[in-house]
Each structure stands twice: as C-alpha cells, then as structure tokens.
Structure 1
C-alpha cells in the first residue's frame, strides 16, 4: 500500500468511525452527509469522493463492523476454547455490539438495503454457521455437550437466546445491571432454572 492508499484508508476509517458513532443515537434516515462530514471533521466532497452516497457509506460502515466481529470470532475459535468460554464470548460480543448498534437498527438497515441483506446472509452461511457447527461438534467430543442433542438443536437453542437479547439488554441497562445480567444469562444457559454449578454444594 503506497502513501496515497494509506491516507485514503485512514480517511475512510475516520468517516466510518464517525458514522458508527452517530448510529448509536441517530436514525439512518435523519442522518445527512453534512452531519456526518461535521462529525468526521472532513468535507462533504471528501465523503462523496470515497463513498459516493450516504447509502454506500452506511453499507460500508456496517460491513466493516461485521467483518471485524467475524474475524475476531474466528481467531477466538481457533484457540480451541471450552464451550463455556465460547458462550461467554458470544454473550459478551452481543453486549458489546448492543452498545454500538441496536439489533433493531441493523434489521432496519437490512430491510432497506437488499445488498446488505445478501452480504449478511453470505457471511452467516459461509463463515459464521460453519464455525458454530464446529464449535458444537468439538463440545460434544469433549463431553461438554450431550450427544443426545444434534448440532442443529444446540444452535436453535442459542438462537432463541440471541433473538431476545435486545429486549433483555434494554431492561438490564435501565436497571444498571448489565454485568449481573450477563452472569445470570450464562448460568441459565448451562444449568437452567434449577441447575447449579458442579462446584456448588447442597
């Protein structure tokens, strides 16, 4: 990468970072190029030069976030963590993503942008899903997951948790108990309502 390319990459990163920060509190439809340019401390011409339109900027910002999160998850899985560590990581990642972008906002962006929807579908099918299946199969091989349940059943169980995370995180945030919420969610995932850790005494 030559000097010009490096400067261009830095400018694009500056703009997408400002856009991501704005998305925490702004609805996409209300965001204008002028507002983003002011937040990023660049000219509107610079944004159009690098992205062409607001829609493309939003698309590239979300793609960057997805790519970063997926790559980090891949690197984590390659360390061969335990099943409990994996679930802790996923819940923590959900918590972190929630502080950046509300799931409902991501859904809105997907509905309004068929190209973004297709991109996320491909990312899930080609990268995330194979990792999740591998995670379950390795957990079963280590005896951490019952062999009586299939990989599909475990993934469905996890997806049920994830689909309700936004509402639950909203409540936990309102009560200022995010950390406690994450600990309790992890306990419920592994031990249920009546279960207990192996180290707990009767």
Structure 2
C-alpha cells in the first residue's frame, strides 16, 4: 500500500468512526453530512467522494462495526474455554452491543436499509451460527451439555434469549445490578430454576 492509499484508508476510517460515534447518540435521519464533515474535520466533498451518499456511508460504517464484532466473537470462541464462559460471553456481547447501539436504532437501520439487513443476516447465518453450533457440539462432546439435548434445542434456547433481549435488558437495568441479573440468567440456562451447579 503506497502513501496515498494509506492516507485514503486513514481518512475513510476516520469518517466511519465519526459516523459510528454519532449513530450512538443520534437518530440516523437527523445525522447530516455537514455534521459528520465538521466532527471528522474533513470536507463534505471528501465524504461524498469516498461514500457517494449519507445512506451508503451509514451502511459501510455499520458493516465495519458488524465485521469487527464478528471477528472479536470468533477470536474469543476459538480460545480454550468452558461452555459456560462462552455462553456468558454471548450474553455479555449482546449487553455491550445494546449499550453502544440501542435495539431500536439497530431495528430502524435494518428496516430502512434492505442491503444492510441482508448483509447482517448473511453474516449471522454463515459466521455466527456455525461458531455457536461448533461450541454446542464441543459442549456435548465434553459432557457439559446433556446427550438428551440436541444442538437444535440449544440454538433455539439461545435464540429465544436473543429475541427477548431488549426486554431482558430493561429488566436488568430495573434490577439495579445488571451483572448479577445476567449471571442469574446464565445460571438458569445451565441449571434450571431449582438446579445446582
């Protein structure tokens, strides 16, 4: 990569980072190229030259966020860890991602950008699900998951948790101790209401 390419990549990264920071606090419809330009300290022309439109910039910035999150997820899951630690990490990641981007914002972005929604779904199906499936199979092989429980059962249970995550996040905040709340949820996932570790 020559000097020009490095500089261009650095400017693009700066613009996308600025856009993500603004998305964390602003409605996507209210973000203007002029605001991004001012905050990133680049010209509006530069933004249009790199991205073409605000919509394409929002998409590319969010895709970069998704790609990094998936890479971090894959790295963590490939380390030697107990199944319980991996499940806790999945819930922790959801909690952290919802702190950065509220579920309402993610839903709005996916509803308003079909290309982005398609990209996220493909990444979820082709990358995240196979990693989780492998984790479950390893858990079954190590005896951490009962032979009576299928991979499909565990995937369905995790999906149920994720589908209700926004509500669970609200309940966790109301509890006053989010970490303890999620530790209790992981405990119930593994041992049931009456079970013991």
TM over 0.5: yes
Aligned to 1:99: 99
Aligned to 1:142: 142
**CA deviation after TM superposition for structure 1 residue 81, in Å:** 1.8
Q: Is the 8 A contact 1:139 1:145 kept in 2?
A: yes
Aligned to 1:76: 76
Q: Is the 8 A contact 1:20 1:100 kept in 2?
A: no
Q: Is the 8 A contact 2:88 2:186 kept in 1?
A: yes
Unaligned runs of 5+ in 2: none
1:8 aligns with 2:8: yes
**CA deviation after TM superposition for structure 1 residue 175, in Å:** 5.3
Aligned to 2:129: 129
**CA deviation after TM superposition for structure 1 residue 176, in Å:** 4.5
Distance in 2, Cα, partners of 1:92 & 1:74 = 14
Aligned to 2:190: 190
Distance in 2, Cα, partners of 1:196 & 1:145 = 15
Aligned length: 197
- Normalising by structure 1, we get a TM-score of 0.91
Distance in 1, Cα, partners of 2:39 & 2:166 = 27
**CA deviation after TM superposition for structure 1 residue 185, in Å:** 2.0
Distance in 2, Cα, partners of 1:148 & 1:171 = 31
Task: Please give the residue correspondences for 1:82-93 in structure 2 after superposition, counting only pairs within 5 Å.
Answer: 82-93=82-93
1:54 aligns with 2:54: yes
- Normalising by structure 2, we get a TM-score of 0.93
Distance in 1, Cα, partners of 2:30 & 2:176 = 29
Aligned to 1:115: 115
Unaligned runs of 5+ in 1: 198-202
